[in-house]
Every structure is written in C-alpha cells, then in structure tokens.
Amino acid sequence: MERDKAEAARELANWHYGVEPDLTQVIRIITDNEDDPGEPIKLLEVNAATFATGSVEPYAFAASASTPFPTVIAEVTPEEFARIEAKEIELPEGWSLTDAHRFPRPHAA
C-alpha cells in the first residue's frame, strides 16, 4: 500500500529527529493544494546546531524510494524561529504557520 503524504512527512520528521540531536521542532507547512501530488512536503526544522542566516532558506529534494514525494526543508535556529513567530523574519512565499502541523520528538529519538 502506498504511503500518503502525511505519513511520509511524519516518517521523515521522525528520521530527522533520530539523526539530529539538536533538532527541537519539526513543523510541516500545510498549503491549500496539498492534495496535488506535485506539491512538496514542506518542513520547517528548528535546530540549535544550524547556522543562523537571518532568513528562511528552503532546500528542495526530489522524490525518492524512501520519501515518494518531493520535499522542501528549511532549517532555522531557535532564535530565528522566535523571530518568525514574532513576524520579524518572513517565511517563504506561500508558507504559513497558521495551519502547520508540529511533529513531537519521538520518545526513542
């Protein structure tokens, strides 16, 4: 049975938690056209070990055997995330925290 986009996003978030010990949050950005198979999974990752840039720079990845959907990931520091929430740093066009889904850190990670 083929995984749906939500399940693939959850698995990707859990895997990232498992390999990134300083990852504090993984947030899936949900847009109006999520049902479009070409619409990528969009993850905003808050990582204390990343370099601050003062902006949100997403990186795109093609679909793969492990994640059968295109994926876009942006990584920010906890301080930058606080500035995003305060609307001092803008998210990429079309991204919003309004309908976002936050993945909790798995207990084993």
Give tens-digit pLDDT for 73-97. 999 999 999 999 999 999 999 999 9
CB atoms within 10 A of CB 14: 16
Query: Is 5 buried (19+), middle (13-18) or exposed (0-12) by CB count in 10 A?
Result: buried
**Cα-based distances in Å from 59 to 3, 56, 74, 75:** 23, 10, 6, 9
What tens digit of pLDDT does each residue of 3-43 get?
A: 699 999 999 999 999 999 999 999 999 998 888 888 999 99
For the chain, domains (ranges, CATH) are 5-103 (3.30.460)
56 near 74, Cβ under 8 Å?
yes
Average pLDDT over residues 45-57: 96
